[in-house]
Amino acid sequence: MTAQIDQFHAIAISRLAHRMSAAGESVIHMEFGQPSTGAPAAAIAAAHEVLDSDGMGYWESPKLKERIAAHYAETQGLTIDPERIILTCGASPAFVMALSCLFAPGDQVALARPGYVAYRNTLKALHMVPVELPCGPAERFQVTAAALAALEPAPAGLILASPANPTGTIIPPEELAAIAAVCAARGIRIISDEIYHGLSYTVPTESMLRHAPDALVVNSFSKYYSMAGWRLGWLVVPPALIDAARARMGNLFLTPPSLAQHAGLVAMDCHEELQGHLATYARNRELLLAALPAMGLGRIAPPDGAFYIYADISHLTDDSIALCTQLLAETGVATAPGLDFDPVEGGHFMRFSFAVSTDRVEKAIARLGPWFARQTRR
């Protein structure tokens, strides 16, 4: 039987936004979680050199795997054998590989609600069963060890994201340790989405590998490294799953783009430029946190990291898709409806991405303020 999965509604919003742009209208894109900046300058320069000198082909870069392993030593104090690192065509294939390595059709996998839309839909596409745990302000919109301990029956797996999409919340180290302990005791395998590591504003981000060495960790060059279009990521697997992960990568996806691997290796050492992007995001975050409450959007998930504001709009609507569509049509500001991230309560929420230039955020605020004032009066 063919799996039925939901639409990614932000894509429809984005299509409308691009049609408006093509028609000459001024559009500010805050609907997708992708940096508006390009790859680091040195990475682009390296790519140009490779294009002139290397015909390229199917390839997995040993140097890039070694550099990623060194990254875990530098940032997390972890020793990771480079052979445990499987280079992938972005984070999405890494999730398919991780899920298919660990679980069978019919297995239950727990995850937070709200959460990234593709977690739920990829599970469904693989004929697995998403078990969504409602997470609100009391839980800081994150799965807790207590919720996992109370879940009956115990699921086969757990998907974690810290920082999270759409909320930006970070799970503290002590809670990560507690979650790891519950999972170990109950036989729950962990997949940790760490693609927003490096993007934090309040507390550092810890890898789940520090607490659960057998966790599978997904990461990507799309967010911190500003290389979304290069389609490059990686999956860290425990030694026992190296062969299984390699078989899936080779058969389903072959290898990541060779050009992206050359550029990614250089990007990992472009600290000054990348930290400059982070400083821009931090400024954008401050501007939105100051401006949105004055527009009536004062109930906001704590954006500890990533580059999102997830705001409660229940005083205005229970149809976030309609509100985001109307907002785009009347202001040119594209946002993401909460229904993508929460099929139950998402009609009451919307998400702003602030991974754009500060001047674009300032222009968006100038447009949003009067518009939300009119909605409140209505």
Tokens of 359: 């001047």
Beta bridge partners of 129: 108
Measured between alpha carbons, how far is 217 from 209 in angstroms, rounded to an integer?
8
Phi, psi angles (nearest 5°) of residue 218? -100, 135
Note the pLDDT of residue 233. 98
Contact by Cβ (8 Å): 199, 207: no
- Which letter does DSSP use for residue 332 in this model? -
Measured between alpha carbons, how far is 360 from 378 in angstroms, rounded to an integer?
27
Note the pLDDT of residue 7. 80
- The pLDDT profile of the chain, 378 residues, written as one tens digit per residue, is 687 888 888 899 999 999 999 999 999 999 988 899 999 999 999 999 999 888 788 989 999 999 999 999 999 999 999 999 999 999 999 999 999 999 999 999 999 999 999 999 999 999 999 999 999 999 999 999 999 999 999 999 999 999 999 999 999 999 999 999 999 999 999 999 999 999 999 988 999 999 999 999 999 999 999 999 999 999 999 999 999 999 999 999 999 999 999 999 999 999 999 999 999 999 999 999 999 999 999 999 999 999 999 999 999 999 999 999 999 999 999 999 999 999 999 999 999 999 999 999 999 999 999 999 998 755
Measured between alpha carbons, how far is 111 from 160 in angstroms, rounded to an integer?
7
Measured between alpha carbons, how far is 237 from 366 in angstroms, rounded to an integer?
46
Note the pLDDT of residue 328. 97
Alpha carbon distances (Å) from 38 to 62, 82, 141, 237: 25, 27, 30, 29
Task: Enter the pTM of the model.
Answer: 0.95
DSSP sequence for 271-294: HHHHHHHHHHHHHHHHHHHHHGGG
Measured between alpha carbons, how far is 301 from 282 in angstroms, rounded to an integer?
16
Pairing of strands 157-161, 216-220: unpaired
Measured between alpha carbons, how far is 4 from 364 in angstroms, rounded to an integer?
36
Phi, psi angles (nearest 5°) of residue 116? -55, 130
Measured between alpha carbons, how far is 142 from 272 in angstroms, rounded to an integer?
31
Q: What is the dihedral of CA 149, 300, 364, 338, to 10 degrees?
A: 50
Contact by Cβ (8 Å): 265, 342: no
Note the pLDDT of residue 19. 95
Give the three-class secondary structure for 336: strand
Note the pLDDT of residue 44. 97
Helical residues (DSSP H) of 109-229, grouped into ranges: 117-125, 145-150, 173-186
Note the pLDDT of residue 378. 55
Give the three-class secondary structure for 170: coil
Domains of the chain: 9-39+271-370 (3.90.1150.10), 56-267 (3.40.640.10)
Tokens of 213: 């060495």
Spell out the residues 6+ positions from residue 103 whose beta carbon is closer than 8 angstroms to its own: 109, 126, 128, 156, 157, 189
